[in-house]
Amino acid sequence: MRILVLEDDSELGNWIQTGLTDAGHVVDWLEDGRHALAAVTTQEYDVVLLDRMTPGLDGLSVLKAMRAAKNNVPVLILSALGDVECRVQGLDAGSDDYLAKPFAFTELLARINALGRRSQTGAQEIVQMLTAGDLELDLLKRQCTRQGRNIELNTKEFLLLEILLRNPGRIQTKAMLLEKVWDLRFDPTTSVVETHISRLRAKVDKPFDETLIRTVRGAGYVVDLTR
């Protein structure tokens, strides 16, 4: 699994990263809450570990921002704040699990694996229809409609739109789209993503009053109806 760890204690963070890497996981370890929030907004993770008391932005605020953006990746809070009230705060804020420090690494690993299994089970549920406002994308019929009007999309345009709709409120970078749609590693010289996004917009946005696909300068693209 790919795991994000927010932990400002360098000794503990290094210990967690080393242990999880040895267990076969890919780990991004960050010490600043603002950087962690940017990472979960622009990249995909299977599980996120959040310390509560971190510089820049505390872990609980990172978690609340994630849930407000409909980011449902499983989150485990790791904190020295381990009394009942603090654990309830964390769970009420949207965490899936809460582990008080100090802890045994075997217990941390077991809890992460449990969250990963739960996430994979949910991901296996068959989704037929994706929607954003008045736009509908039928994944089984391979049909796109907006305000009841059929919109013809080619294979790449359909997949681009599907990825954006599967991640509402989450920025999809050019590198992510290149990899998911064209199976290409990031190439700063190619404009294939911009070209296809432009064509997609001409079909699903331009003929209508409301714009669904938004460009986030320097980051990527997002379908966000909360503006």
Q: What confidence tens digit (pLDDT) does each residue in 68-127 have?
A: 988 889 999 999 998 889 999 999 999 999 999 998 999 999 999 899 887 666 555 557
pLDDT in tens, 19-74: 988 887 888 999 999 999 999 988 888 899 999 999 999 999 999 999 998 888 99
Q: Which two tokens stand for residue 142?
A: 């391979």
More confident residue, 224 or 78: 78
pLDDT in tens, 164-195: 998 888 888 888 888 778 767 667 778 899 99
Query: What's this model's pTM, rounded to 2 decimal places?
Result: 0.58
